[in-house]
Structure formats: C-alpha cells, structure tokens
Amino acid sequence: MSIREIKHLDSVRLSKRGNSVVIIDQTRLPNETVYLDLKDPEDLYEAIHQLRVRGAPAIGIFAGYALYCLALQSTAEDYPAFMEEVRTQAAYLNSSRPTAVNLSWALKRMVAKAEASAGKPKTEILQDLKEECIAIHNEDIAMCKAIAEYGLTLIKDGDGILTHCNAGPLATSRYGTALGPILLGYERGMDFHVFVDETRPLLQGARLTSYELEEAGVDITLICDNMASIVMSKGWVQACFVGCDRVAANGDTANKIGTSGVAILAKYYDIPFYVLGPTSTIDLATPTGADIEIELRDPNEIKEKWYEKPMVLPQTRCYNPAFDVTPHELIDAIVTDRGICRAPYTESLKALFE
C-alpha cells in the first residue's frame, strides 16, 4: 500500500447495498486484512467493544453508520415507536465503551437528526439519517486534513517524532490526527523519523501505527513503551504527537494508557508534547480530567493475550485501565481542525466553539 492508498483507506464505510457497515477488522492487522460487514446490533456493539473498530473518530463514524443501519431495520408503525427504538439502539451502542466522547457525540447527533425530522414520512427520516452519518464521516475527513496542516507548522524537516498508540488513518479517516502532519509532510517531500511506542497491552502502536507508516514509506523505529526515556535522553525526539479520546474543558486529555507517562518524560527532557484531535473530541461539558470515565478492560489482555501460554499465575491480580489522563499543564498545545490551542485552555478551547 502506498501513501496514496493509506490516505484513501476507509477503515469504516457504508456497504454498497447501503444497509450495513463495512470495517477493516483492526484486531487482525497487520497480518491479515479482513473486512467485516455488520448490521446486527450485537455485532455492531461487539465490533466497538473488542476494538475491531477503534480510535475515537473512527468509533464515532462507525456509530453514526451503525445507528442508521439499525434504523433501516425498524418495523415500528409510528414515529413515537420508531424514536423509542432509535434511542434504545443509541443507548446500547453508547454502552460499548465509555471514554471516547466521539461515540456519544455521533449518536446524539443522529438522534437529534431523527428528532428534527419529526412529522416527515419514514423514508424521508431515514434519508435524513443517511445524510447525517455521511456528513459525520465527510466532516472527519476535512477535520483530519486541517489538523495535519496545523500540526505541520509545529515540526520541521528531519525532526524525530514520538507517538503513542494509533491516531492514523485506521483510527480516523484519511490523514489521521497525530499522524496527519507526518503523512502530509512526507507527501510534500519532508523527512521525519518516527519513534512508535508499541503501546501495551493491545499493541496499537506496533500493530497499526507501524503498519500505516511503513506502508506509507515513512522512516520509523518501533520501541517498547519503557524505551521512550532513553530515546528522548539521546536527543532523538524533537516533538511528541498523540491523539485524544476526550479533551476536558480545562485541557486535561484522556488518551491511550501510557500517554501521561510520555508527557511526563517529555517535560523532563524539555520536548514539546502536542495533542492532536478534532473538535468532535473536545468535550466542554466535562470540566476536568477527573470527570472522565476511564474504561477498565479484561485482565487477560495483559496476562495472556499475546502469549502462547499465560505469562502470569492465574491468581495474580491485574489492573487494566485502557486510558489515562494527561494533565493540561503537561500539554504544550492542542492541535484542532479550527486552529492550535494553547494555555489557558479553558479560554482557548471555549473560543473554538464561539
């Protein structure tokens, strides 16, 4: 796959028949490229919960298409019954993962669209829902491009960049968020060296970011998460670029577990630490990071998932939070599709929506 193909990769899309959602199963990458065609509620829920589709923006796009496909299956005979079904399905999908705000953001948008279509015939309501989920997707494509342009102003040719987890085309649409400036700069003839954190326990960095950047032709080095400090200490990193799952009103940012550790190291080594994300990931209704619900996942993801045999005694207790919160004091800038925000974030983030 070339940089062109990576950039045009649709990790989520509506099927050609228009009644199901097609995704690349991200749990099978990089060894197998398997497409799933989903329309049953349990399969749609499972795809989010098991990270077959993952990354905050991709989850939002998926949820929009999913709710539309579920609405198509409705046999409700009147509008109140139809809305009852739509709200129930939205609540069900929303319960699949708690941290990335894009999930509830997209579902609320779809429900609001169906509400605004009250009084129309069912076929028209469904058409409105279809247009809304396609709009969510198209807006994300435009937002990723804008983030890539803004982010590119923060780095220069030859820089070393460290990234954690995966915030590329698979997690979003087209350019990605944290990887957007790198892909855009590379396309324009710039060279970067990217240090990719493996990202325990689910290896999004190793399996997905390495895959995307290798396929695009970008120069990368994969490191284990606990190697970030030595790489920074050698002067090889000029900036850290990470994505986000929810940015609170004060700039505190939830992202993949381990992100806050990278930010602490970056502060120690005096390396700028940048969060990149679309405005759909900024949640002004959540005052601070302490108000963000952090998803806890199955301990077996740590104990045995990637091993032939379990690497821990069965009785050993594990703590497996999927995200952590980086305090806003450690973030040099939050790069959005509407511009670059700096401290004080309570003001700069609010200004984005005025």
Q: How far is the CB of 82 from ligand MRU (least distance, A)?
A: 31
Q: Which range in 36-44, 69-77, 165-173, 334-342 contacts ligand MRU by CB under 6 A?
A: 165-173
Q: Are 129 and 116 in contact (CB under 8 A)?
A: no
Does the footprint of ligand MRU cover residue 54 (CB under 6 A)?
Answer: yes
In degrees, rounded to 5, the angle at the alpha carbon of residue 202 between the alpha carbons of residues 256 and 213 is 80
Residue whose CB is nearest to ligand MRU in the complex, by number: 243
Which of the residues 140, 159, 197, 245 is marked catalytic? Answer: 245
Per CB under 6 A, the list member of 21, 38, 47, 51 interacting with ligand MRU is 51
Spatial separation of the C-alpha atoms in residues 195 and 161, rounded to whole Å:
6
Q: How far is the CB of 258 from ligand MRU (least distance, A)?
A: 9
Does the footprint of ligand MRU cover residue 322 (CB under 6 A)?
Answer: yes
Q: Are 215 and 206 in contact (CB under 8 A)?
A: no
- Token digits for 50? 């098991």
Does the footprint of ligand MRU cover residue 140 (CB under 6 A)?
Answer: no
Query: Which residue's CB is nearer to ligand MRU, number 114 or number 161?
Result: 161
Site string for ligand MRU, 188-207 (x = CB under 6 A): ----------------x---
Spatial separation of the C-alpha atoms in residues 196 and 3, rounded to whole Å:
18
Compute how many residues bind ligand MRU; rule: CB under 6 A. Answer: 18
Beta bridge partners of 157: none
Site string for ligand MRU, 171-190 (x = CB under 6 A): xx----x-------------
List the strands of the sheet with 239-242, edge to edge: 219-223, 193-197, 160-163, 239-242, 273-276, 333-336, 339-341
Spatial separation of the C-alpha atoms in residues 4 and 152, rounded to whole Å:
18
Spatial separation of the C-alpha atoms in residues 89 and 94, rounded to whole Å:
8
Residues annotated as part of the active site: 245
Residues that bind ligand MRU (CB under 6 A): 51, 54-57, 100, 165, 167, 171-172, 177, 204, 243-245, 255-256, 322
